[in-house]
Structure 1
Amino acid sequence: HRRVLQRNNDLDVIWRTQPAADAYSLYERYITLRHADGDMYPPTREQFDSFIADCREDTAFLHFYRENTLMAVAVCDQMGDGLSAMYTFFAPEEEQRSLGKLAILAQIQACQQKQLPYLYLGYWIRDCQKMRYKTDYRPIELLISRRWLRLK
């Protein structure tokens, strides 16, 4: 994780209550290049608005910028005991930066600053390769066969 932070120390993080004006073009590029095999493809403005932009009052948008270029957006909801990571999209051509990991680390840091004990990474499907990253962050609690397991 230190390497991810080091690689991205040239980025500025800005919290907003709405996505930036240039967020849709980044989202469109991300879905087209990273998820063309999924049900979110092809991306549309209507899909973006209903999934990302039409947010609740407790939704926050972390924007990651290199100078004036938007590199990533992480969408999260504030809950009573933590943040809930809703969705992250980033510049797909910047794979070496590990911007998805950076977004999680930034949300963990935000939880620490707000003295919130949890960052919720959402549901996890064991056989889904694109969700595998969620088990890289510990401790983790998993509901398996109707029992909660805590892994350290």
Structure 2
Amino acid sequence: MNTQATPSPQFYLTAPAACPYLAGEMERKVFTHLVGHRAAEMNDLLTQGGFRRSQNIAYRPACEGCRACVSVRILAGEFEPGRTMRKLIASNRDIVGTMLPPQPTTEQFSLFRRYLDDRHQRGGMSDMSALDYAIMVEDTHVNTRLIEYRIRAPGDGIGDKPKGELVGVALTDMMSDGLSMVYSFFNTRLEKRSLGTYMILDHISRTKTLGLPHVYLGYWVKGSSKMNYKTRYQPQEHLTPRGWERYRPEEDALENAFLR
């Protein structure tokens, strides 16, 4: 009989730092390391409990006096795109997404740098080097994939790996109950394609095909305009002190109207 106890994860708390989403607020995070043979299992459990993954770290907000960060997951099986989203999918029918091992390339990094320069010049990732990018992709003990999105070039066969322009990349964790979008970036100059929206819709479609229920989008921060897009994908659930509950936009709108 094996009486050896299974090691439990050790959790740590970061020092306070300025919140990147809400002016005047300070943020703290609780985190643990995702390493060893149980890393994938722990990633599943922690993601379902409101954590996010960055490299081999799982973290969640632990701010004093603020609970604005809310974990969001789309109910993929129930999701049906509306008219605008269907038009978007149709307009991007020449884009092909290919799932690949988490192996960084120079082409990906070039797109990543352009994305940061266009969208996040003052963000915490703004000075990331090619080595930093490689670590972000490769430093994982869980079931991670890269999905490359390319515009299919003339002459590409259906079974061929697309050779056209790389316009988007998603770093995605494959979980027991769905897909978790860890980080994504795209060509911001192709505004009419709305590539950020398209990649989320593609993840929903992939999750349906896998017969799994959820697409994890990370945190929605009420009051932050940067995060408003996450509530467009209905139905979805938010993690509350009572567990995962279906988000009802009409109730949120009523509350906002009352507060005004």
TM-score normalised over the length of structure 2: 0.54
Which position in structure 2 is the counterpart of 1:4?
88
What 5-or-longer segments of structure 2 have no aligned partner? 1-84, 154-163, 249-260
Give the aligned length. 151
Higher relative CO (Cα under 8 Å, sequence separation at least 6) belongs to: 2
Q: How does 1:30-45 map to 2 (within 5 A)?
A: 30-45=115-130
Q: Percent identity?
A: 34
Which position in structure 1 is the counterpart of 2:60?
none
Which position in structure 1 is the counterpart of 2:102?
18
* 1:61 aligns with one of 120, 138, 146: 146
Name the CA distance, whole Å, in 2 between partners of 1:54 and 1:30.
Answer: 21
Which position in structure 1 is the counterpart of 2:171?
75
Q: How does 1:45-124 map to 2 (within 5 A)?
A: 45-66=130-151, 67=153, 68-124=164-220
CA RMSD of aligned residues (A): 1.7
Partner-residue secondary structure (3-state), 1:15:
strand
Cα offsets for 1:26-76 (capped at 9, x unmatched): 001001111113111123213212223434451111111112210001111
Between structure 1 and structure 2, the one with the greater Rg is: 2
Kindly indicate whether the alpha-carbon contact (under 8 Å) linking 1:31 and 1:43 is maintained by their aligned counterparts in 2: no
What 5-or-longer segments of structure 1 have no aligned partner? none
Kindly indicate whether the alpha-carbon contact (under 8 Å) linking 2:104 and 2:134 is maintained by their aligned counterparts in 1: no
Which of the pair is proportionally richer in helix?
A: 1
Name the CA distance, whole Å, in 1 between partners of 2:223 and 2:121.
Answer: 19
Q: Could you tell me which amino acid in structure 2 is paired with residue 101 of structure 1?
A: T
Partner-residue secondary structure (3-state), 2:114:
helix
Which position in structure 2 is the counterpart of 1:142?
238
Name the CA distance, whole Å, in 2 between partners of 1:25 and 1:127.
Answer: 32
* Cα displacement (A) at 1:123: 1.8
